[in-house]
Amino acid sequence: ALRGNRLSDAPLTVYPGEVPSRLPGQAFWDSQGFQFEAFRPQVMDVDKPLPHIRLDAALEFLIGDKLR
């Protein structure tokens, strides 16, 4: 899930869904209406390190089986 605040200050959680087993055909791309939300950047404290965003977990999920 992707969580954050919209530019309008409203909180939002997006669940992207499943990755299809194969690429959709041309008709899907022609008729699919995509809507992308704009998120407000997180407030960062200048005296603290950047937060850990768990890219290691994302990589393990995406390509972990290929590295075994």
Average pLDDT, consecutive stretches of 10 residues, N- to C-terminus, the chain (68 residues): 88 88 91 87 90 90 91
Strand, coil or helix: 56: helix
DSSP letter (8 states) at residue 8: T
Range list of β-strands (E), 1-68: 2-5, 11-14
| Per-domain boundaries in the chain | 2-67
Cβ–Cβ < 8 Å for 19, 63: no
pTM for the structure as a whole: 0.50
Provide the 3-class DSSP secondary structure of residue 29.
helix
Task: Give per-residue pLDDT as tens, 43-62.
Answer: 889 999 988 889 999 999 99
Q: Give the pLDDT confidence score for residue 13 in this predicted structure.
A: 93
Specify the amino acid at residue 18. Answer: E
